[in-house]
Amino acid sequence: MNEEQLTARTREFIGLHVVQSADLLRTEPALGRQRLQAAACAGLTGIQVPEKLGGSGLSFRCKANIATILAGADFGLAMSWINTHNVAADLARWLDQPIANTWLPGLLSGQMIGCTALTEPLAGSDFSAIRTVATRVPGGWRLDGEKSWIINGKIADVMLVYAQTQPGQGAPGIACFVVDARRAGFERDSQSSPSSVASSFTGGFHLKAYIAHEAELIHPPGTAFSRALASINGARVYVAAMCCGMVAESLRIANEYGQSRLTFGKSLASHQGWRWSLADAAIDLHAAQLMVAQASAQIDAGKDAQDLAAKTKVFATRMAQRHIAALMHALGAQGLRDTYPLMRHLQATQVATLTDGSTEMLLERISKNLNKTLGQ
């Protein structure tokens, strides 16, 4: 499948599965699974998985474009989809390991759902402070700890879980394991997903004397921390792409509304003071889209995208917070109605400022790079 076909299928998928605004607030696991299976049928769960392994073998840019379209309809669903996709793509990279073969077909067909778990109740921004412990036992590792705020945490079958093998050692002791949610020692918690991103099925889980086999250690201590940070650049760019998708959709809605709503005998769009707020949004949206395109090209070229990915996410999330609020205001009271996605999108921008590196963490990263980047 090529990018054009995938884009058409994504729009068709949205038309069939994301039209009911009220459904997006529902949290029954069956609904989340049903949507991801439909996304898999549309070919969305294997975009970056090589063709020889059952995927489409397409680029990061293509994934970011699909993320833009899906988030325009629903950010929570876009995050749910991309997180299960990423587990498939990550496992495909390590397919020489038999464990990847166990999960990949199910993830590609949508029968299985994946998630990636770094965050814990006592460790978010400071990833090196995680307390989930991995202890050596004959034939594998025993995992004990708690993960929280994990997208798909309520419905995932397979988790990439980061744990500390040498308590007190920080980053070098962290390893990554494949965890099977059906096995003894795994228990989901009852934390509810924030309603604005209910369709992300965000939740937490406990590991109590959970045994991971030796082959399920996918990144050993010494490599797991840096691998997590390497993949996070892509995550920052697709979150920025999703912000662009939400602003583009809000702008489209406001523009349409401005043609039909009359005030003082004229359409809203005829009032200069009203339409300038849309022009402002269009300018900043374009700038954010260019940043996403440039950062995506760097990732596809295998270049170091750390600095641009951080700048792109900070710019796009702030742009979305400012302009979705302004576009909602441009619809007057109607903008608050659930029939429009603007309130949901606005709340989702708050999530976007936290996931995959909060704004403050990214500003810290960008400021530490200044000597290098200003010298370019």
Ligand X SMILES: Cc1cc2nc3c(=O)[nH]c(=O)nc-3n(C[C@H](O)[C@H](O)[C@H](O)COP(=O)(O)OP(=O)(O)OC[C@H]3O[C@@H](n4cnc5c(N)ncnc54)[C@H](O)[C@@H]3O)c2cc1C
Residues found near ligand X in the complex (CB under 6 A): 83, 115-119, 124-125, 149-151, 194, 197, 200, 202, 351, 354-355, 358, 360-361
CB of 49 to ligand X, least distance (A): 20
Residue with tokens 């778990």: 117
CB of 63 to ligand X, least distance (A): 16
What is the number of the residue whose Cβ is closest to ligand X?
124
β-bridge partners, 123: 120
Q: Shortest gap between Cβ of 278 and ligand X (angstroms)? A: 29
CA atoms within 13 A on the CB side of 13: 29
> Closer CB to ligand X, residue 172 or residue 194?
194
What number of residues does the chain have?
A: 376
Residues 245 and 78: beta-carbon distance below 8 Å: yes
| Shortest distance, position 83 Cβ to ligand X, whole Å | 6
Nearer to ligand X, 117 or 178 (CB): 117
Q: Identify the three-state secondary structure at position 64.
A: helix
> What is the distance of C-alpha 255 from the center of its chain?
28
Q: Residue 162 Cβ, how far from ligand X at the closest point, in Å? A: 8
Between CA 239 and CA 223 the distance in angstroms is 25
Q: Residue 319 in contact with residue 285, Cβ under 8 Å?
A: yes
From the CB of 364, what's the least distance to ligand X, in Å? 6
Q: What are the respective helix, strand and coil percentages of the chain, to the nearest 5?
A: 60, 15, 25
Q: Which of 237/253 has CB closer to ligand X?
A: 237
Let me know if 365 is exposed, middle or buried by CB neighbors in 10 A (0-12, 13-18, 19+).
middle
63, 89, 112, 366 from 93: Cα distances, Å: 16, 6, 18, 29
Beta carbon of residue 358, minimum distance to ligand X (angstroms, whole number)? 3
3-state secondary structure of 103: helix
Which CB sits closer to ligand X, 56 or 349? 349
Q: Which is nearer to ligand X, 56 or 199 (CB)?
A: 199
Which is closer to ligand X, CB of 115 or CB of 319? 115
Q: Which is nearer to ligand X, 116 or 289 (CB)?
A: 116
Beta carbons of 87 and 359 less than 8 angstroms apart: no
